[in-house]
Chain A
């Protein structure tokens, strides 16, 4: 399997038969994939049966989920994910966004509004406003620094 052959939005799941986390996540992944049937495809690779494919994909652990769109990898996660997290991955891929990463709007709102609130709080002597402003700036900056999950 080559990622650049996948032109449609596709989640590539790499698993092994002995992977407990893979089996635990299987029903949730199947349910979410069914919700997005026709919009996001699901491709499953058995790393034990096809180790060369797993190696080519750079997979080092299972389960690995690789989000692919227009032949390019958009994101990659390793480890079990909850159904809610899986839906976020599918939604992000369908909407051509990177999941878990703070977008420009979020950064603008949190840091920009936060800074405005801090200034306003200081000028007006409104401590709660300044505190909320600081919190907004910190949350926005930390989320941006963490990047995609």
Chain B
């Protein structure tokens, strides 16, 4: 699925934390209704992309926040 990690370490941590927070808000009932259901699902997106380290949107647009990989490619 992925060729390389295109997210910087700080971004991966942020995505995982955001995903956990969104999932908690949805699944705990803190946010109810349609928004709560939305959070239950959408929370998995930043969580999984952070765990894997690969963002499909970054791949589509050919960008990356992973400076270490860019350094290996360009220096």
How far apart are the CA atoms of A8 and B10 in the complex, in Å?
30
Question: Bound state CA distance, A134 and B16, in angstroms?
Answer: 15
Tally of B interface residues using CB under 8 Å: 25
In contact, A91 and B3 (Cβ under 8 angstroms): no
In the assembled complex, the Cα of A105 lies from the Cα of B12 at a distance in Å of: 9
* Contact, CB under 8 Å: A91 / B73: yes
Main secondary structure of the interface of B (DSSP, over half): helix
B6 to chain A, nearest CB (A): 12
Q: Is A124 an interface residue (CB 8 A)?
A: yes
Cβ contact of B23, chosen from A35, A39, A97, A129, cutoff 8 A: A129
Is B20 within 8 A of A120, CB to CB? yes
Asked if B51 contacts A39 (CB within 8 A), the reply is: no
Interface string of B33-44 (1 = CB under 8 A from A): 000000010001
Is A117 a contact partner of B68 (Cβ separation < 8 A)? Answer: no
B42-60 residues at the A interface, CB under 8 angstroms: 44, 47-48, 50-51, 53
Tell me which of B19, B20, B72 contacts A94 (CB under 8 A).
Answer: B72
Chain A hits for B12, CB < 8 A: 105, 109
The 3 closest A-B pairs by CB, nearest first: A126-B27, A94-B72, A95-B72
Q: Which residues of B contact A (CB under 8 A)?
A: 3-4, 9, 12-13, 16, 19-20, 23-24, 27-28, 40, 44, 47-48, 50-51, 53, 68-69, 71-73, 75
**Residues of chain A having any CB pair with chain B under 8 Å:** 35, 39, 84, 87-88, 90-91, 94-95, 97, 105-106, 109-110, 113, 116-117, 120-121, 124, 126, 128-129, 132, 136
